[in-house]
Structures are given as C-alpha cells and as structure tokens.
Amino acid sequence: MTVRVVVGGALCHEGRLLAARRSAPPEVAGRWELPGGKTEPGESVPAALVRELREELGVEAEPLERIPGEWQIRPGLVLHVWTARLLSGEPAPLEDHDELRWLAPEELDSVDWLDQDRPAVAEAGRRLRDGRGERHTRSHGGA
C-alpha cells in the first residue's frame, strides 16, 4: 500500500501556536488540529505545507523543521508535522475550519486536539517554552 503524507503546520507567532477547529467531516468536526493537508504527487512536504497554509488560512509561512515522528491518521495516510513561522497575513478559517485560536504553551490543553496531533502539539509546546518555536534550529542528534 502506498502511504500518503499529510503535513501539519505547527504555526508559531509571538510565542503562541495556532490551533484550528475542524468543521468537517462530521466524525472530527469540533475537534482541534494543526492546520495543513495532503501532499500532492511529486510535491515536497515543505512545499505542501506552504500551499496548504495559503489555501486554508490565507497566510504565507516558512517551514522551519520537522518535528520527529509520524502518526497514522488512517491506513495509507500518515501525519508529518513541521514547525513554521508566519511571514505575512492574518490567519482566517477559509477551508475545513470554523475557528482559529492562538494558544500560549500553557493553554495547549484548553482545546480537544485530534489524537494524532497530540504528540506534535506537545513537542511544539516544549519548543515554544524553550524559545525555539519561531526560529530555525539545527538538531544535533538530541532533541
């Protein structure tokens, strides 16, 4: 079976992480996720993230680094999450979402995240607390 990647954006700005509430499909409506979407054939994951954040939120963002790990959404579909920095625009729920919230690290548990997003949200929160959420850092094997 071919595995397709869904990219999620841990979009960070001014020490906060953007959470997006799903409006569809019904089985996940009302729950929160990191915005993003499926990669297109031949498209790199960072390029897909830039495209998806533009389509879903109307913003320009810069992918910074991948959060280690991958999480199954359903058979044949896995989630990869990248931290990203907001370059321009004010996020708006244009597709698939009905509400957005900027959450400080201590507020991350205030919304009902989709299960597959939880590990990456926790890591993004750690990075924000450490001051690493909005800048590119090179991993030296540990983190």
Q: Which two tokens stand for residue 71?
A: 């999480």
Mean pLDDT within 17-41: 96
Measured distance CA(101)–CA(91) in Å, rounded: 10
- Cβ contacts of 130 within 8 Å, gap of 6 or more: none
8 A C-beta contact, residue 21 and residue 98: yes
- On whether the pTM is more than 0.75, the answer is yes
Q: What is the pLDDT of residues 45-96, one digit of tens each?
A: 999 999 999 999 999 999 999 999 999 999 999 999 999 999 999 999 998 9
Look at residue 36 in the predicted model and tell me its pLDDT: 96
Sequence letter at residue 1: M
Quote the mean pLDDT of the chain. Answer: 91
Contact 126, 17 (CB under 8 A): no
Does the pLDDT of residue 143 top 50, yes or no?
no
Predicted pLDDT of residue 139: 39
